């Protein structure tokens, strides 16, 4: 079975609030499938995961290590003595170093701010195993447990009693995403963070599934949940908290007020403090089911994160091949792969032998058939080297001058139905194409462009290539796209402009000789019938604005 796709933000799993309702549903469904043994794939085969544990927990460590191993991966676990984030080493440095070693990071940290820094500077997926602000893996296991025992989450009423801590925060987010009715009961002054409540309200468009109260009211509860009164790092407050939280203990009297409710706890529990021994050991207690489901939910999260990365790569591959003959070739290769799987599954000996012995020739054939697409992919990959440095050695004033003169010329040529083709060089050099024309190396002006494209002039039918504020060549020959890759009927100028935009990052301005319409072409996309104002905005935004900012800014 193929795992469902979930759009985890930035490929990380930081909080429950990062999931859309449909994503949460699919993740829980996958966790149920894994637990039932209906999902046995090993997507982490050959991958290694770092486990950062500033805060110890045998449940978190064992469940993640076992889950990763069963998915085919391996782990390295680092304690606070091994990696002292923010003390001996900055979070950014640790993230960048781990990036060179591992394929993902599971982090159980003291500070949520450190987790966000880790995710920001890590190119590999980061999973939140606990912070002072949230505990999303635990709460997803709680939802899975409640769903197993009581069914549809939207029909459940969970009452949380205790400190407004990370568990309470994640339950509030889960309530908003999953539609679960939640009552949070805390002593005065120990409410959850206001920012958590604000974010929760924004998720469900103002629908409020969360009730905050200081009164111990558990009527209609299908589950009663509590946690320790003093979390790690709050040991010095324990005595004071026992006095404040004493009336909020979950005991037989409280459970009797909700006879149909199960008892839940994330563990470890302090028997006799937040919960009585009689309740935690009663048949209504489901704490060990919650602990077990941590394993299945965390496996589902890791599967989804891995699938999201693969899906992104496949999406970019399909974008690259779209509109080329490679699309049809790719379909053919997929069909061949299906035939190969069938041959192996049904033990078709001759067909399997042919596939095994034809592998080398298939690889060579793929390289030959996908040569244009591979060249284009390598070209786009090479542009990564331009990230974080100036777009070119030309300043904004030069680009503004070139744009103004080109647009002024295009307007005049358009009014006379005189064809024109002007290419603006950006990161990818156009020197090879400039070499096919006549060297000009003159400062750009509308009058010069009009002269070049004057009907029947020697340079009229070629392209002008602009670098900065200078015309470096005219009468240039540009590459045409492959036959069959362009579905619409285009003239030669538009085809040449389209071909150059696919082969480079150039922005190309075209004036149609037939209609006088002006078009801008970039990355294989045509913007047609632009009036002077929209033309200025289009070209200025694409070239001048980017150069003025000085840098491309990419999100990971």
Torsion sign over Cα 64, 65, 71, 72? positive
Phi/psi for 216 (5° steps) reads: -80, 85
- 191 has catalytic annotation: no
Catalytic residue among 227, 296, 376, 426: 227
Report the C-alpha gap between 232 and 230 in whole angstroms. 7
Tokens linked to 262: 């199960």
pLDDT (tens digit per residue) in 128-177 = 999 999 999 999 999 999 999 999 999 999 999 999 999 999 999 999 99
Domain ranges for the chain: 9-133+294-307, 136-291, 321-386, 396-549
Where does 9-133+294-307 sit in CATH, by number? 3.40.50.1370
CA distance linking residue 349 with residue 328, whole number of Å:
28
- Catalytic annotation present for 266: yes
Confidence of residue 417 (pLDDT cuts 50, 70, 90): very high
| Burial (0-12, 13-18, 19+ Cβ within 10 Å), 382 | exposed
Highest mean pLDDT among 14-23, 124-133, 232-241: 124-133
Candidates 407, 298, 243; CA nearest to 73 is 298
Residue 208 has pLDDT above 50, yes or no: yes
State the catalytic residue, choosing from 11, 209, 294, 538: 294
Terminal Cα-to-Cα distance of the chain (whole angstroms): 29
Q: What is the pLDDT of residue 318?
A: 59
Which listed residue (133, 135, 209, 426) is catalytic? 135
Assign domain 136-291 to its CATH architecture.
3-Layer(aba) Sandwich (3.40)
Q: How far apart are CA 296 and CA 27, in angstroms?
A: 10
* Mean pLDDT rounded to a whole number for the chain: 84
Catalytic residue among 117, 156, 266, 538: 266
pLDDT category, 464, cuts 50, 70, 90?
Answer: very high
- Of the pLDDT bands very low, low, confident and very high (cuts 50, 70, 90), residue 372 is low
Instruction: Give 480 or 552, the one with higher predicted confidence.
Output: 480
Q: Between residues 308 and 36, which one has the greater pLDDT? A: 36
- What is the distance between the alpha carbons of residues 133 and 130, in angstroms, rounded to a whole number? 8
* Residue 338, CB-side half-sphere exposure with 13 Å CA sphere: 6
Q: Would residue 108 show up in a list of annotated catalytic residues for this protein?
A: yes
Top CATH class of 396-549 equals alpha beta
Residue 9 banded pLDDT, cuts 50, 70, 90: very low
Q: State yes or no: is 32 an active-site residue.
A: no
Which of 466, 504, 472, 499 is CA-nearest to residue 483? 499
DSSP secondary structure letter of residue 319: H
Two tokens at 114?
Answer: 């450190």
CA 29 to chain centre: 21
82 belongs to the catalytic site = no
- For the chain, what is the largest distance between any 2 Cα atoms, rounded to a whole number of angstroms? 98
9-133+294-307 matches 396-549 in fold: no
Under the banding of pLDDT at 50, 70 and 90, the label for residue 402 is confident
Tell me the pLDDT tens digit for each residue of 91-124: 999 999 999 999 999 999 999 999 999 999 998 9
Mean pLDDT is lowest, of 56-65, 252-261, 372-381, 395-404, for: 372-381
Residue 294 is among the residues annotated as catalytic for this protein: yes
Residue 555: predicted pLDDT: 29
Q: What predicted TM-score, i.e. pTM, was given to this entire model? A: 0.61
Among the listed residues 55, 61, 108, 467, the single catalytic one is 108
Give the pair of three-digit tokens for residue 530.
């632009």
């Amino acid at each position: 079975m193929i795992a469902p796709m979930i759009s985890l933000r930035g490929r990380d799993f930081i909080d429950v609030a990062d999931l859309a309702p449909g994503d949460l549903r699919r993740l829980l469904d996958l966790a149920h499938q894994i637990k039932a043994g209906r999902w046995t794939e090993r997507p982490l085969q050959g991958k290694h995961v770092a486990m950062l544990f500033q805060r110890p927990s045998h449940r978190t460590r064992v469940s993640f290590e076992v889950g990763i191993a069963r998915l085919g991966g391996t782990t390295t676990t680092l304690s606070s003595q091994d990696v002292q984030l923010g003390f001996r080493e900055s979070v950014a440095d640790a993230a960048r170093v781990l990036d060179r070693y591992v394929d993902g990071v599971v982090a159980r940290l003291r500070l949520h701010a450190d987790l966000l820094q880790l995710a920001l500077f890590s190119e590999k997926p980061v999973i939140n195993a606990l912070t002072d602000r949230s505990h999303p893996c635990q709460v997803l296991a709680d939802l899975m447990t409640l769903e197993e025992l009581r069914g549809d989450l939207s029909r459940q009423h969970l009452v949380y009693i205790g400190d407004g801590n990370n568990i309470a925060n994640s339950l509030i987010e889960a309530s908003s995403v999953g539609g679960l009715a939640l009552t949070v009961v805390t002593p005065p002054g120990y409410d959850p963070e206001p920012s958590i409540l604000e974010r929760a309200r924004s998720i469900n468009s103002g629908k409020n599934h969360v009730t905050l109260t200081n009164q111990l009211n558990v009527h209609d509860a299908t589950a009663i949940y509590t946690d320790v009164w003093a979390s790690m790092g709050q040991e010095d407050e324990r005595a004071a908290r026992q006095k404040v939280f004493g009336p909020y203990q979950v005991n037989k009297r409280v459970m009797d007020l909700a006879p149909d409710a199960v008892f839940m706890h994330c563990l470890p529990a302090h028997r006799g403090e937040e919960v009585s021994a009689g309740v935690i050991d009663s048949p209504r207690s489901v704490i060990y089911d919650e602990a077990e489901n941590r394993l299945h939910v965390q496996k589902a999260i890791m599967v989804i994160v891995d699938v999201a990365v693969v899906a992104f790569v496949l999406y970019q591959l399909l974008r690259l091949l779209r509109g080329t003959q490679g699309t049809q070739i790719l379909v053919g290769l997929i069909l061949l792969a299906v035939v190969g799987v069938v041959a192996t599954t049904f033990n078709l000996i001759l067909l399997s032998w042919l596939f095994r012995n034809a592998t080398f020739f298939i690889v060579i054939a793929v390289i030959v058939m996908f040569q244009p697409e591979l060249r284009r992919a390598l070209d786009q990959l090479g542009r990564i080297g331009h990230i974080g440095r100036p777009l070119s050695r030309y300043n904004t004033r030069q680009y503004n001058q070139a744009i103004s003169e080109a647009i002024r010329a295009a307007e005049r040529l358009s009014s006379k139905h005189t064809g024109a083709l002007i290419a603006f060089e950006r990161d990818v050099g156009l020197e090879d194409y400039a070499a096919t024309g006549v060297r000009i190396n003159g400062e750009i002006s509308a009058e010069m462009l009009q002269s070049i494209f004057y009907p029947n002039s020697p340079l009229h039918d070629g392209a002008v290539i602009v670098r900065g504020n200078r015309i470096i060549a005219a009468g240039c020959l540009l590459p045409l796209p492959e036959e069959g890759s362009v579905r619409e009927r285009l003239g030669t100028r538009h085809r040449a402009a389209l071909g150059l935009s696919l082969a480079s990052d150039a922005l190309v301005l075209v004036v149609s000789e037939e209609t006088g319409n002006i078009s801008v072409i970039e990355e294989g996309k045509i913007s047609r019938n632009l009036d002077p104002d929209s033309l200025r905005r289009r070209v200025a935004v694409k070239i001048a604005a980017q150069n003025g900012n000085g840098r491309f800014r990419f999100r990971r």
